[in-house]
Amino acid sequence: MAEYTKGIIVIFAFVLDLLLGDPVRPTHPVVLIGKLITFLERILYGIFKTPIGLKVAGIILWILTVPTVYFMTSAVIGACYKINYWLGFALSVWLVYTSIATKNLADEALAILAELKAGNIKKARVRLGGIVGRDTDKLPLEEICRATVETVAENTVDGIISPMFYAFIGGAPLALAFKAASTLDSMVGYKNERYRNFGWFSAKMDDILNYVPARLGGILIVAASFFLKLDGKNALRTMLKDAGKHKSPNAGIPEAAVAGALGVRLGGWNSYSGKLHFCPYMGEKKREIDPEDIKLSVNLSVCTAMLGLIVGEVILILTMARV
């Protein structure tokens, strides 16, 4: 696929996402990927029993899922292009569009904000529980705001910058392969009794695949902070100072950058299935976090996504010019 075609596909997909949001349907690629993972997990868990065996099964699961998604996507798109160029182009746009979550992330966060403004803290907790893994049923207002801002920051990389990054490199097949790897991590990449061994490889590969996009995303968040007249200098300073404290090699980067840009402190005690876990603090507590920070984090996320699109297109143009 020509480089300029990839760039045009990403532009159309990005605009489509901003207009329509995530198409929640049984035929959504991520839904189908999830069904494939569940099917393979059931088979592999029935074959492998020991800790080492389950680690091997986790590797097999990843290999059977991610390359399969890549090659099947490539084959279907290739067949469509042979039938009609515009059919292949349209399918590529649709698939990349389903891999990007700019509007969906913003809508989910703003829906929580709307509930808080209406005084419906119970409903806000329920909505928050749909997008975070921590326990939300007893969270006070400030902790709801913190959790929402943190998930917006982290998913700006996982759900927007990373899939765009891979779409620019390898088109729809690579973007869908990344989503498959990301879905694997979200389904089996937990350190609980069932997935500690079985999901270790998926979790590790997710860290590897997000490594470069997370660092690019951090730079873009800092740039977006300046653009939106937030504290860009503090975003950069906090990212450099605090990002490495996070247990994840990637999540701390966008979280620290957003904390610095907003002038709030993220991190702290979170409850998962009734067990408390401490996440290192990101940023200085210059003030209490409040519901308006949710809106600011969403603005920062959308601006970061747009800058990511622009930078990606510019790099493609420069690459083509050199060739």
The predicted pLDDT at position 148 comes to 97
pTM for this structure?
A: 0.94
**How far is 279 from 287, CA to CA, in rounded Å?**
19
The sign of the CA dihedral 123, 128, 134, 140 is negative
Interior angle at CA 197, CA 133 and CA 214, nearest 5: 50
Q: pLDDT tens digits for the chain (323 residues)?
A: 566 788 999 999 999 999 998 776 667 888 899 999 999 999 998 899 899 999 999 999 999 999 999 999 999 999 999 999 999 999 999 999 999 999 999 999 999 999 999 999 999 999 999 999 889 999 999 999 999 999 999 999 999 999 999 999 999 999 999 999 999 999 998 777 788 899 999 999 999 999 999 999 999 999 999 999 999 999 999 999 999 999 999 999 999 999 999 999 999 999 888 889 899 999 999 899 999 999 999 999 999 999 999 999 999 888 877 75
Tens of pLDDT along 31-72? 899 999 999 999 998 899 899 999 999 999 999 999 999 999
- Check residue 298 and report its DSSP letter: H
pLDDT of the residue at 318: 87
Give the pLDDT confidence score for residue 2 in this predicted structure: 62
- Cα distance between residue 250 and residue 253, in whole Å: 6
pLDDT for 200-244, tens place per residue? 999 999 999 999 999 999 999 999 999 999 999 999 999 999 999
Decide if 164 contacts 58 (C-beta within 8 A): no
State the Cα–Cα distance between residues 185 and 212, nearest whole angstrom.
Answer: 17
**Which pLDDT value is given to residue 323?**
57
Long-range CB contacts (within 8 A, 24+) of 30-38: 30/98, 30/179, 30/183, 33/65, 33/69, 33/176, 33/179, 33/180, 33/183, 34/183, 34/187, 36/65, 36/68, 36/69, 37/61, 37/65, 37/183, 37/184, 37/187, 37/188, 38/187
- Alpha helix ranges (H) inside the chain: 3-20, 29-47, 51-83, 85-99, 102-117, 121-129, 141-156, 162-188, 200-227, 232-242, 252-262, 292-322
DSSP state of 244: G
Q: How far apart are CA 235 and CA 297, in angstroms?
A: 12
Mean pLDDT of the chain: 93
